[in-house]
Amino acid sequence: MTQQDQQVRPFSAVLTEIGGGKIHARLSAQLAELTAAVRDTGKKGEITIKVRVEPLKKADQNTLVVTASSTAKVPEGDDASPTSVFFADASGNLRRDDPTQPQLPLAIVPGKATA
């Protein structure tokens, strides 16, 4: 029998049977999450599927263990890693105001509208 004569089983059919369909369900959820994140952020993402096939026993070439895993690289929005500038004081505490700069004595002038 030549390779052209062989019927190749679709990958998707095998994927739905690995782990009782758990990897297929996981991939479906990851794809939905990835699609939403790409639309929201305008950034690219990806899903990687890894399939490992190994013999169950070395003496039996026809009984195989198939393991599948997936990882998703979902893009995050610009607000996922917010940044602020802080100053460290002598004790190592973080402060918003520079502790080495004197504070200006500000006062509200009566009768003036504030914006």
* Domain limits, the chain: 11-73
Distances (CA, A) of 115 to 102, 103, 107, 108: 25, 22, 14, 12
63 and 54 Cβ atoms separated by less than 8 Å: no
- Round to whole Å and give the CA distance between 9 and 2: 16
Q: What is the pLDDT along the chain (115 residues), one digit of tens a residue?
A: 566 678 999 999 999 999 999 999 999 999 999 999 999 999 999 999 999 999 998 888 889 999 999 999 999 988 877 788 888 888 888 888 898 888 888 888 888 665 5
What number of other Cβ atoms are within 10 A of residue 34's Cβ?
18
Tell me what pLDDT residue 114 has.
59
Burial-class residue 51 by CB neighbours within 10 Å (0-12, 13-18, 19+).
Answer: middle
